[in-house]
Amino acid sequence: YTAERQERAALEQLLQALAAMGAERQIERILPVVAEQARTLLGVDVAVVGIGDQPTAPFARWASSGLAPEAQASLEAALRRPAAVAMGLLGPVAQEGQTLVINDLAAHPLGQLLTPALGLRTLLGVPLRWGPRSLGALFLANRTDDRPFTTRDTYLAGLLAAYAGVILEYARLHGEEVRARLLAETILDSAPVGLIVLGPDGRVQRVNAMAEQLLGAVDVGQTLPWPGPFRRPTGQPATDVPAPWASVQATGRAVQEEYQVVRSGQPPRPVRLSALPLQTGDQPLGVLLALMDLSYGEGVPAAAGGVDGPGGPRPAGAGRHHRRLRRAAPGSARGLGEPQSGAGLSG
C-alpha cells in the first residue's frame, strides 16, 4: 500500500511537472522550469538542463535549480571545458543519447571536473531528444536522502526529459515561425507600393498600409470585389473583363494593367496593378497584387498624403507613422470601399 501511494504521488508530481513545462512557449523560460520541476520530482539537490545544436557546444544554453550563484559560475566554466564535453562525462549524454549514472562521482576519472566547487556526490544524466535528433541533456545530482540513483529514478527522469524535448522543439519551431512572420510583415508593410496577398481561395490574407491608402479599407479574410474602385484609364468601369487576380488563378500567368482608382470625394488616381502567381512547385499558394501609384509620374511610387523630402515626394506610409500590416482574423467585417477613419471609398 505504501509503495502504491508513493507511485501515485510520483505520477501526480510528474503530471504537474509536465503541465508546468507545457505552459511556456519560449525556450529561455522553459529551461528553468524543466530544471526546477526535475529537482522537485526526483528529490535532488541540484538539477541542470542544457541544450545546443553544435557538437562542440551541447550546452550552449542551460539553466539550473538548486545551485548558489558561485556554484553556477563554476558549473559554467566546467561546461566549457573540452574534457567535460569531449572525454566522456557530460557530452555523450547530449551528443549520443546515452544515459549516465554515477553514484560515486569522486571515484570517477573525470569526477574532479565537477566535484570541487559544486560539491556533487552522485550524478544522473538523461538525453533530451526530438525523434533521432539530440537537443541536449538533463542532469540531476545528489539525492536529498543521500541514497544512490535507482532504475526508478532513471525512468522518471527519462519520462520528464522526453516530454521536455517535445516542448523545447515546439518552442523552437514556434520561435522560427514568429520570426519569419514578423520579417514578412516588416517587408510588406515597409514596401513603397501597395501589396495584397490573396490565398488560393481568393480571400485576402495580408494587406499593407500603402494598399489601404490607395484603396481604402480592405476586408481581410474576404474576397476583393471587382471592379470595385477600379476604372479603365478612360474612366469607364472595367466590367467587361475578369478581375486580374481571377485571370492569374485561371491561367497561372502574371497580369499587369493600368487603371484609375476612383474613391468618393477624391480625384481619380492612376495606378499600375500587377497580379503575380504565388506557388511552390506545381502547388498554387495564391496571388500577390502590387499597386503602384502613378500620380507623381511614370514609375515613381507615391501615396495620398505623401511628404516632400530632399529626394522628392515619398509615400506617407513609408514613414514611422504607417499602420502595422493586417492579417486574416476571424470575424473581420470591413469590405473594400467601406469607410476607414473617415476616409471612405466607394465603387
- Per-residue pLDDT reduced to its tens digit, 55-97: 666 677 888 888 888 777 777 766 666 555 544 677 778 878 8
- Stretch 237-241: mean pLDDT, rounded? 86
> Who wins on pLDDT, 159 or 300?
159
DSSP state of 145: T
> Who wins on pLDDT, 110 or 236?
236
| Per-residue pLDDT, 311 | 37
| Per-residue pLDDT, 296 | 59
Query: What is the rounded CA–CA span in Å between residue 80 and residue 320?
Result: 44
Q: Give the SS3 label for residue 285.
A: strand
Neighbours of 302 (CB within 10 A): 25
Residue 1 has pLDDT above 80, yes or no: no
| Per-residue pLDDT, 73 | 77
Residue 145 has pLDDT above 60, yes or no: yes
| Per-residue pLDDT, 110 | 72
Say if residues 64 and 82 touch (Cβ distance below 8 Å): no
What is the dihedral sign for C-alpha 197, 203, 209, 215? Answer: positive
Per DSSP (E only), the strands in the chain are 44-51, 61-65, 100-102, 123-130, 133-143, 194-198, 204-207, 230-231, 255-261, 269-280, 283-293, 307-309, 312-314, 326-327
Residue 191 has pLDDT above 50, yes or no: yes
- Stretch 158-163: mean pLDDT, rounded? 85
pTM over 0.85: no
Percentage of residues in the chain with pLDDT exceeding 70?
68
Query: What is the rounded CA–CA span in Å between residue 56 and residue 49?
Result: 17
